[in-house]
Amino acid sequence: MRSTIFNILYWTMSGVYGVICALLALIPGKFFLMHGVRSYCRLTVLMMRIICGIKVEVRGAPPKNKSVIIAAKHQSWGDGIVLVAKTGNVNFVVGDHMLKFPLIGWVLKRAGAIVVNNQGGRKAINALNSGIDRSKREARPILIYPEGHLTPVGTGKPYRKGVYLLATNLDRPVVPVATNLGCFWAQQAWEKKPGTAIIEFLDPISQKLDATSFMATLETSVEARSRQLEEEAQS
């Protein structure tokens, strides 16, 4: 019952905020629009706790207003919502599947999001390069999911090198993020389970590493710590 109530309220609220943010996107600049986006994310996190019994615990230091790349594990629809709620004014790399939602394409464009082709390849690289050029003028963190897709708890996909291109071209360190949110809000599942979901910001990885060492360090640290957090949740 709790999951049903949450989902009805969440999707209703998402529709309302979609209209609100689309209107805010008409205002020059990103200040009012991003305020609306953060308000939506924070309200969702509050609903998760009150309705579903999902408390979000943050470990480590969220890099608020810092010029870094946030490379996060992606196992829940709520991942980005929680990270924006806890980190503040961030930019984000999103797949082009997000454009299928009404008004979202307009809002993402006005927010400055980097929209890439989910299938990867040359089109994804070109979109990423375009986003890199725009991001050079901004100091806010950039959120990216190196796997490129949602993954079930306990699994992962090979990390894509787009995160390395972001880090080296923008000359920014990368802050890995592990999570076990998928244990409570699995992928896009209707059912939500009560408990304490953990979002953990790990030690930064230098953008000065070579590509092989960088990708291995990132994937190993995020996946290993996420497995530990999943075990913690399941215990």
| CATH code of the domain covering residue 88 | 3.40.1130.10
Q: Which of the pair, 187 or 217, is modelled with greater confidence? A: 217
Q: Per DSSP, what are the bridge partners of residue 175?
A: 70
Mean pLDDT of 194-209: 96
Helices 31-47, 79-87: axis angle to 10 degrees equals 120
The pLDDT > 90 percentage for the chain reads 67
Task: Provide the token pair at 170.
Answer: 């923008």
Mean pLDDT of 206-218: 96
Q: What is the pLDDT of residue 104?
A: 79
Length of the chain in residues, anyone?
235
d(CA 60, CA 18): 31
Task: Tally DSSP H helices, then E strands, for the chain.
Answer: 7, 7
| pTM given for the model | 0.90
pLDDT band at 227, cuts 50/70/90? very high
Mean pLDDT of 184-211: 95
Q: Give the number of domains in the chain.
A: 1
Domain that holds residue 61: 2-234
Q: Is the pLDDT of residue 133 over 90?
A: no
Q: Is the pLDDT of residue 119 over 70?
A: no
Summarize pLDDT for 149-164 with one digit per residue, the tens. 899 999 999 999 889 9
d(CA 230, CA 40): 27
Residue 175 host element (H or E): strand 174-179
State the alpha helices, DSSP H only, in 93-195: 104-111, 121-135, 162-170
pLDDT band at 142, cuts 50/70/90? very high
Comparing C-alpha atoms, which of 122, 81, 83 is closest to residue 98? 81
